[in-house]
Chain A
């Protein structure tokens, strides 16, 4: 069973900003509709490989992109 992560944001602007930043680093990511099991402020979430979790978090923090939460999901 593989697992993936989802970053939840307050606003779409942050989601797009995060996508730009992480794509620049060549990370495998995708913007997705926020899974309904998560109550989120924003309709768009960012899916990433769970193995990249630390890198994703530190890049978002470094770019001062505000994140609501980071969740782990199982495929």
Chain B
């Protein structure tokens, strides 16, 4: 089997991740922060250690500004619904995933003003358009770091500067980039940074987070969920301090332990060498697919400006048929369709049919891609 759906979730998970998840239940199975006994404290240590190592990985000076959530979607919802009020102006791009677009559309129906900056067909952002869309009334610029459909990395440093120059905050959806490319939040001054654990960070599903930048007032964001935090138990009101304000209910300790193991696994290999491996794989796929007649490769052809995602279509063949034959006849797992990103598919011109998406991961080999290209050649030639 060749797994090329790492943009949906990475697989297989490192054995260290699976081991850590069992180990935490065995050795630290208390409820972190709730009780004062040894198992509760052991669990709290595990949670804090993960918070601290995530902070170090993204160069965040205060680990308390790392808030755990279930995934990037929840982190984005917390940021948007917590921050925005009717009348606020928000700018986003036409390459967004529904994790960002759907909450924004819902908030639009409740009175925020939304501007969607159109992107180019290769998925890249027109910074001049963005600069025109942002003005003194803009509260937030919210966008993806890299497209989940075509992999194009967006110019987030410049977009962040545009936002800050206008006095707006900047939210980054790093679902496809956290763990895939180096991210230094001490220089990239993102105000709200949403990540997920189960993609390139190699963790399990069900764990992600939101990092609050130093300029963000904790009081400016309302929690998405309120409830028990283990702290201030005599109060019937939500605490106002970090991270408890945004972390109600028993946390996903097993997911957190898996995330920590995944993060360490990545760091042992080195983010630079992971990046270079994935970039090479993507370029090999792009070059190989372009040699097959009848195929159109969408998005940016230069893998230096993309994460490890390639989308293609084939004239005269349904993407669903290609996906099914790849799976059934060759054991190659891809994802076809719209990838929860209708706006992005409209931008690249593949709406409503969608594309075949191939997303190699850290454990994908060049030989896997040779076999994949051969399979695609046979399917489209038949």
Chain A residue at smallest Cβ distance from B243: A13
Chain A 13-24 interface 0/1 with B at a Cβ cutoff of 8 Å (1 = within):
111110110000
Instruction: Give the residue of A13, A32, A66 whose beta carbon is less than 8 angstroms from that of B36.
Output: A32
Chain B 275-297 interface 0/1 with A at a Cβ cutoff of 8 Å (1 = within):
00000000000000000000000
Interface: B62 (CB within 8 A): yes
Given A13-B47, A20-B52, 5 additional A-B pairs, CB 8 A: A11-B33, A12-B48, A12-B230, A43-B230, A45-B36
How far does the Cβ of A43 sit from chain B's closest Cβ, in whole Å?
Answer: 5
Chain A residues closer than 8 Å to B36, beta-carbon distance: 31-34, 43-45
Q: How far is the CA of A15 from the CA of B37 in the complex (A)?
A: 14
Chain B residues closer than 8 Å to A64, beta-carbon distance: 62
Chain B residues closer than 8 Å to A44, beta-carbon distance: 33, 36, 40-41, 44
Interface contacts (Cβ under 8 Å), in number, total 76
In chain A between 32 and 67, which residues have their CB closer than 8 angstroms to a CB of chain B?
32-34, 39, 41-45, 64, 66
Chain B residue at smallest Cβ distance from A30: B41
Interface residues of chain B, those whose CB is within 8 Å of chain A, are: 32-37, 40-41, 44-45, 47-49, 51-52, 62-64, 229-234, 239, 241-244
Chain A residues closer than 8 Å to B49, beta-carbon distance: 16
Interface: A10 (CB within 8 A): yes
Question: Is chain A's interface secondary structure helix, strand, loop, or mixed overall?
Answer: mixed
Q: How far is the CA of A13 from the CA of B41 in the complex (A)?
A: 10
Q: How far is the CA of A9 from the CA of B244 in the complex (A)?
A: 12
Instruction: Give the residue of A13, A20, A39, A45 whose beta carbon is less than 8 angstroms from that of B234.
Output: A39
Chain A residue at smallest Cβ distance from B234: A39
Q: How far is the CA of A42 from the CA of B232 in the complex (A)?
A: 6
How far does the Cβ of B207 sit from chain A's closest Cβ, in whole Å?
Answer: 16
Chain A residues closer than 8 Å to B230, beta-carbon distance: 12, 42-43
Q: How far is the CA of A45 from the CA of B35 in the complex (A)?
A: 11
Instruction: Give the 3 A-B CB pairs with smallest separation, nearest first.
Output: A33-B36, A12-B33, A16-B48
The answer on a CB contact under 8 Å between B33 and A66 is no
Q: How far is the CA of A10 from the CA of B64 in the complex (A)?
A: 12
The answer on a CB contact under 8 Å between B34 and A43 is yes
Chain A residues closer than 8 Å to B232, beta-carbon distance: 10, 41-42
Q: How far is the CA of A42 from the CA of B230 in the complex (A)?
A: 7
Q: How far is the CA of A41 from the CA of B238 in the complex (A)?
A: 11
Chain A residue at smallest Cβ distance from B62: A64
- Residue in B32, B36, B37 whose Cβ sees the most chain A Cβ within 10 Å: B36
Q: How far is the CA of A61 from the CA of B232 in the complex (A)?
A: 22
Chain A residue at smallest Cβ distance from B33: A12
Q: How far is the CA of A44 from the CA of B45 in the complex (A)?
A: 12
The answer on a CB contact under 8 Å between A11 and B62 is no
Chain A residues closer than 8 Å to B37, beta-carbon distance: 33
